[in-house]
Chain A
Amino acid sequence: MNQILQMRSITKEFPGVKALEDVTLTVNAGEIHAICGENGAGKSTLMKVLSGVYPHGSYKGEIIFEGEEVRFSSINDSEAKGIVIIHQELALVPYLSIAENIFLGNEVKGTGGLIDWNKANHKANQLMERVGLHENPITPVSQLGVGKQQLIEIAKALSKEVKLLILDEPTAALNDTDSEHLLDLIRQLQRDGITSIIISHKLNEIAEIADNTTIIRDGRTIETMDMSDPTATQERMIRGMVGRDLAHRFPERTPQIGEPVLEVENWTVYHPTQPGRMIIDNASFNVRAGEVVGIAGLMGAGRTELAMSLFGHTYGRNITGQVKMHGSVVDTSTVAGAVGASIAYCTEDRKRFGLNLLDDIRHNISAAGLSKLVKGGWINGNEELKIAEEYRASLNIKTPTVMALVGKLSGGNQQKVVLSKWLYTDPEVLILDEPTRGIDVGAKYEIYTIINRMVAEGKAVVVISSELPELLGICDRIYTLAFGRITGEVPVAEATQHSLMELMTLERNAELPVRNGNNVEAGRAQGAEEPSNLELKGSNR
């Protein structure tokens, strides 16, 4: 088999840090090659070296592409050779059309150097056909969901005559159906002769799609495994990534469940700008002391909308329903009110909604509970530092100092800072929205441990997640959410991925099965229908 790409002994140093050391990566022509490793392991750095973001000369080692050594000085050079990288954060211009985005920087010229839009739209249609996207090419990108935007990125890559496609966490923001569609597309491209490199945290996804997998840890290559080999198990991958055995993916916990703490009754929320569009439909649920309750739902089901509307009405309008803490009604219509009622909400999007990336760890940890540090009108800076140090130690935030900027931490450590911030407000109920999104296996385990510690202290925890194995692994009870309705409540002992998925895909008008999960048959017929349009029903995030 001939090799399309060889990266030999790549070493990349930043002042004081060796990001990559003697990394070797060999990719066969026409294969799907996965790269996995913990956050900060050096995957992105390696791809930046490959795509010319870090120009030749700023690293040691050599890159052989299609049999000859290449020396890229910018991303344009690598694209000219047919290497295209699609970043995790999509680089589309929201107000431009699909066609305009596809040909951005590569415009279809007609006579006199002017752009020939008819031709461009026609070519866009052809490219969209190849990626299985059926939209009008003049539709603005902002009107499409994340899944379709991802497809546009790939169409854009195809327009550049791509030979080697690099996808950085392509399915991180996608629901299961869209992920499946995307993986099918990558296989389709493979049949067309396009080689792909996929960076992913989702090990089952890698197992499903990759021909070979290279594991990177601490800036070094650990091994490249042939995925058809039966010994290439997920356990082996995890062992390679974290450098140790994770006995179990989820830490053990013996539940000690007390009285209900938070009770939400008949919660109904409407869309903030489209009047009459119901986002949460008469939802009721509760959480008890010492209990971890999961909320499972597909993208667009209203998971985050439910949580944010509860937390200070930060989403939606015409919100009705009751929130009770220990049986008495509390006012959560402002964030201050919700915090005062001992409720905390950790957002799913920590960079946009959770952290001030310009400020240091210390100030971020104290941000929500700042009033506790005030004495005589002044903030006690020394006490603040002490508190930050305590959380650094107890949550194992990996940083040389709590005065380091939060923006420089890895995803897992940023998540720990968000958790610290809310733990410092001393809440009784913690709502964790996708607490392990985009963080690596080792850090996930630590987050689960922290959750266990919180419930052991008698707190009530609500976990919103799109990863069903995660919910099954850490929850005591799981509610399913579909189209804004709570469609089921299942004790974890009785729940399976299959039964949850059926409840999560119940159509808007379907009859609800009997609560407590014993009877899910009613939903089976509708649940089997294709849910590919789910994502568009919710707000685009």
Chain B
Amino acid sequence: MTATVTPAKTSTAGVRELLTSNLRQSGILIAFVVVFTAAAIASPNFLSPGNISNIVQQYSYILILAMGMLLVIVAAQIDLSVGSVVALTGAVAAVVVIKWGMPWYMGVLAALGVGLLVGIWQGFWVAFVGIPGFIVTLAGMLIFRGLTYQVLNSISLSPFGGVYYEINNGFQNGLMGGYGVDTFTLVMFGAGALVLAYLQWRTRQGRIAYLQTVESMPLFIGKIVLMAAVIMWLGFELASDRGLPNILVLVLILLVIYTLVSQKTVFGRHIYAIGGNLNAAKLSGVRVRRINFWVFVNMGLLSAVAGIVYSSRMNAAQPGAGNGLELDAIAACFIGGASTTGGIGRVGGAMIGGLLMAVISNIMSLLGWPMQLQSVAKGVVLLLAVAFDLWNRRRSESAA
């Protein structure tokens, strides 16, 4: 996505072209690196192994929600109900596991089932009745919050304990031994870096075969080395703490799946087509209702995944759980470059948007700033991100 094309032969591009050709994406990445560096300077504890694990664990459910929310937003819809659905699915899991004493996976399945039903319900109203997603999910926000109180009889259920608790809070550690630094974690990260390098190389070969511009070889190698270094550093940090967090594995798997779905499948492409121009999509043979339906079904399912993760993290299901999470997820998408009118946005961008908020919250806690200021900071970041996006768009428009 970062290179230009010449028809005759493969040519190579330098750093500058790569950055300027995709400022929308790279802008938010640069902002993230800046904030991350500033945080590292501001507090020595920020880069400590335990803290890196914490950031992942504290924000995992928002990252998961943001993946589904991004697809919803790209389709020019919105989902306000996800906070309530997180609470409801967590509550159902708690009833199954804690009240009825059934095994953890039954709780997971029950929560996913409820999420699926919620998705079908909302997808039906949006896609087949034609009510705007804003209204349907505003209703859903009330309905599912109410149902949560009903399911829990207005009291908290805790603790889950056992494997269910480990979903968000557990680590893979000591599987291969190691002296203070977990070997298994390092091996996994090393393998990840190798796979990533191989995939990058294969993409590059593919592009060369199709006579497209690619980055020059030294630049390509530099990029791979830099990526591998960041990955191995993160791996080392985690390995010297408690090992590989389960939740990180889950988030990464989902990230790979949703990046591929959004960029490489017909379903994903059709979501962008609908958000970009509904009428043109219809006239190109896109089955708009079907796509909208599945986008909401998917959001329901991911809300259930987030509900499981959230209740696991809290080790409890509370009637008021997940309040306001929908707004965090929506903010992550917009900070990550999604357009409010649909058609534009990337899963990777939403992840960086979510992580940016996570890092800001985290550093403010580390520095002992009061809670209320974190909310202010998030709001300011959201405004600045969208302002940057607007400025960037005007700049490119006036250049045309």
Contact = CB atoms under 8 A, between A and B. Distances in A.
A278 to B, nearest CB: 24
B285 A336 contact: yes
Interface residues of A, number: 44
Contacts of A363: 269, 272-273
B280 A353 contact: yes
Given A14-B400, A378-B264, A353 B283 contact: yes
Given A370-B269, A403-B4, A356 B281 contact: yes
Interface in A368-409: 368, 370-371, 374, 377-379, 381-383, 385-386, 389, 392-393, 400-403, 408
Interface residues of B, number: 35
Q: Is the interface of A mostly helix, strand, loop or mixed?
A: mixed
Nearest to B275: A358
Interface in B313-343: 339, 343
A353 B287 CA distance: 15
B399 A16 contact: yes
Given A352-B279, A356-B273, A389-B7, A379 B265 contact: yes
A373 to B, nearest CB: 9
Contacts of B1: 403
A379 B4 CA distance: 20
A368 B283 CA distance: 8
A359 interface: yes
A335 B284 contact: yes
B344 interface: yes
A92 B37 CA distance: 50
A142 B275 CA distance: 26
Given A378-B265, A400-B4, A15 B398 contact: yes
Nearest to A368: B284
Contacts of B339: 358
Contacts of A381: 264
Interface string B274-290: 01110111111111000
Nearest to B213: A401
Contacts of A335: 282-285
A61 B212 CA distance: 42
Contact of B285 (A347, A368, A401): A368
B276 A357 contact: yes
Contacts of B269: 363, 367, 370, 379
Contact of B277 (A356, A370, A389, A400): A356
A355 B399 contact: no
Contact of A336 (B277, B287, B343, B398): B287
Contacts of B265: 377-379
A32 interface: no
- Among B207, B209, B273, B398, the one with the most A-chain Cβ atoms within 10 Å of its Cβ is B273
A379 B260 CA distance: 10
A383 B286 CA distance: 21
Interface in B250-308: 260, 264-266, 269-270, 272-273, 275-277, 279-287
Contacts of B264: 378-379, 381
A16 B210 CA distance: 29
A339 to B, nearest CB: 5
B266 A402 contact: no
A408 B279 contact: no
A163 interface: no
A17 B399 contact: yes
Contacts of B7: 389, 392-393
Contact of B280 (A336, A355, A383): A355
Contacts of A356: 272-273, 276-277, 280-281, 343
B5 interface: yes
A402 B264 CA distance: 18
A336 B286 CA distance: 8
Interface in B160-201: none
B266 A379 contact: yes
Interface centre among B207, B260, B276, B398 (most CB of A within 10 A): B276
B103 interface: no
Given A14-B398, A389-B5, A378 B260 contact: yes
B283 A385 contact: no
A352 B5 CA distance: 28
Interface in A304-361: 311-312, 314, 334-336, 339, 345, 347, 352-359
Contacts of B207: 382
Nearest to A388: B5
A201 interface: no
A14 B287 CA distance: 40
A416 interface: no
A430 B287 CA distance: 21
A339 B270 CA distance: 16
Interface in B1-36: 1, 4-5, 7
Interface of B: 1, 4-5, 7, 206-207, 209-210, 212, 260, 264-266, 269-270, 272-273, 275-277, 279-287, 339, 343-344, 398-400
